[in-house]
Structure 1
Amino acid sequence: GRAVVINEQLSRRAALHVGHTLALGPGLSLPVAGVVGDYGNPIGQAIVGEALFRRTFPAIEPSRYGVRTGNPQGLRRALTEAFDVPPTRIIDQAAIKAFSLSVFERTFSVTDALNVLTLAVAAFAILMSLLTLAAMRLPQMAPVWAMGTTQRRLAGLEILRTVLLAAITAVLALPLGLALAWVLLAIVNVEAFGWRLPMYLFPVEYIRLMLFALAAALLAALWPAWRLSRMEPTGLLRIFANER
């Protein structure tokens, strides 16, 4: 009864932080002992001890009770039989939590499948882009071939160039994506809902995603490189002659 805990919504709206004083009623002001996250709740709320609440607001009767039990089904039956409480008024939080976790697990499974599909689409897009770029770069590679570089070496250099470009893109995209995530969590979400989600980093997942991106770029570069290595020398000679 000597302090109060408030949720993040009230903390942000009233500019209250740990150590500040919150007026709870006539003649009752308590220091803020902590700020807790309350996701999904749009209302600012304060939490005090039960004894202090009864002394401060004696006219308010409790309408909900929380009971810890190892046999929720037995307690549900006992309450229904003894007090004729409708089953719909009794909520098993453990069952709700288990159901929510199962829904999240299925959601993440769908997300993983969508990630694979996204990588496949990205690989196809890279393939089409590389085929177009390979045709556009032939006039630039023909003089190099005419100077003595073999087609096989040119194909290898094209693969190396593609993988390096993919690596540079991934290295630049990672901090940009993290910065965008921080803006969404720390600024947009706070302005829209009044609460902030914590941001966690997963370096192993980032490395795996970068490896997948490099693998997709490598696979997409193989076909244009193979076409270049199997191209007839007369074709390169004709391109070289036309460029001159």
Structure 2
Amino acid sequence: DTAQADAIIDRIAPEVDIILPIMAATIPLEGMQTEVYGTRIHSTYRDNWILLKSGDAPWDRVEAGEAILINEQLFRRADLQVGDTLDVDGEPLVIAGVYGDYGNPIGQAVIGEDIFARMYPDISPLRFGLRITDGDVGRVRTILNEEVGIPEANMINQAGIKAFSLDVFDRTFIVTTALNVLTLAVAGFAILMSLLTLATMRVPQLAPAWAVGVTRKQLGRLEVLRATLLALLTAVIALPLGLGLAWALLAVVNVAAFGWELPMYFFPWDYVRLFGFAVLAAAVAALWPAIRLARTPPADLLKVFSHER
């Protein structure tokens, strides 16, 4: 409540690096429900917020009360551009930048603290961001709980959430790596079964080559080479197809469905390694059929010509 907010400002100010009040008003903007936040511009935002698009000195202009930052959802759905002017409850503000706001279904905007207080004098901050050095976190939480009366459930340690999230991601990637190995093994087994079947079917095609002087060992080596080249050709075709599909999902489907786009990054060395694994898996899978072909009795090869006239 307001009394607790005043107590936070008075009592906690000496204990923290900076107090960042959080104020918000929900208004219709360009035909879309939008949360407009009044923000005390600080290095917390300047150094950590990644703007997808921006003009010159966006944070300085927002702090001066002449500009606004909007999220990607509002930017795309209202077909806006950096430099356009928005009428925010009668206040003309230039769009200075666009930021990613993944998962938010509605519009969002950020303006300076002073202009927000002037536009919405009845809204006072009841939430605060506190920048605290690591050693003082417990002390500040105790003061907030015991002296100001803020319940533990109403305090969120952002650093703790970030550490927990990164730990979850790390475990997720470990599982993903294990699944990749399993997928590669299944793919290699599928290639092996396919090549074993094809080896039997190709005997009538290879028998004439043996008859004109190509040895069975040479035929086996050629089969390994053929399978390896086929795997390489498949990888060359599959990579651009996969990248194209990823781009369509991120830049077209996701934008149409949710109004925001995930960035797409490329990892050339991972692609090279993937090519190597694909070729290696195909070569290893082709060894057994090739050995069987190299050891095929001449009598079996001669049977191919038994019905020839």
TM-score for the superposition, normalised by structure 2: 0.77
Q: What is the CA RMSD across the aligned residues, in angstroms?
A: 1.0
2:113 corresponding residue in structure 1:
50
1:133 corresponding residue in structure 2:
198
Q: In the alignment, is the contact (CA less than 8 A) between 1:146 and 1:240 conserved in 2?
A: no
1:11 corresponding residue in structure 2:
75
Displacement, 1:106? 0.6
Displacement, 1:130? 0.6
Aligned residue identity for 2:102: Y
CA–CA separation in structure 2 for the residues paired with 1:84 and 1:65:
15
Q: Map Cα deviations across residues 85-141 of structure 1 (whole Å, 9 max, x no partner).
A: 110100000100110011011111111111111111100111111111111110000
- 1:104 equivalent in alignment to 2:169: yes
Percent identity between the aligned chains? 61
Higher mean displacement: 141-150 or 69-78 = 69-78
Displacement, 1:243? 5.1
SS of residue in 2 equivalent to 1:15: coil
1:33 corresponding residue in structure 2:
96
SS of residue in 1 equivalent to 2:123: coil
2:125 corresponding residue in structure 1:
62
1:176 corresponding residue in structure 2:
241
Structure-2 change in CA distance of 1:190 and 1:243 (3 Å): farther
| Equivalent residue in structure 2 for 1:22, among 86, 89, 92 | 86
CA–CA separation in structure 2 for the residues paired with 1:207 and 1:228:
31
Structure-2 change in CA distance of 1:17 and 1:119 (3 Å): same
SS of residue in 1 equivalent to 2:184: helix
Displacement, 1:12? 1.0
1:215 corresponding residue in structure 2:
280
Aligned residue identity for 1:94: A
SS of residue in 1 equivalent to 2:264: coil
Aligned residue identity for 2:194: S
SS of residue in 1 equivalent to 2:107: coil
Displacement, 1:191? 1.1
Displacement, 1:58? 0.4
Runs of 4+ residues deviating >3 angstroms: none
| Equivalent residue in structure 2 for 1:87, among 152, 156, 160 | 152
Q: Map Cα deviations across residues 12-45 of structure 1 (whole Å, 9 max, x no partner).
A: 121111000111112x110000001111111101
- Residue-pair matches, total: 243
SS of residue in 1 equivalent to 2:87: strand
2:7 corresponding residue in structure 1:
none
SS of residue in 2 equivalent to 1:128: helix
Displacement, 1:240? 3.1
1:155 corresponding residue in structure 2:
220
| Equivalent residue in structure 2 for 1:164, among 205, 226, 229 | 229
CA–CA separation in structure 2 for the residues paired with 1:215 and 1:72:
53
SS of residue in 2 equivalent to 1:223: helix
- Give unmatched runs, 5+ long, in structure 2: 1-64
Displacement, 1:238? 1.4
Structure (1/2) with the larger strand percentage: 2
CA–CA separation in structure 2 for the residues paired with 1:198 and 1:83:
42
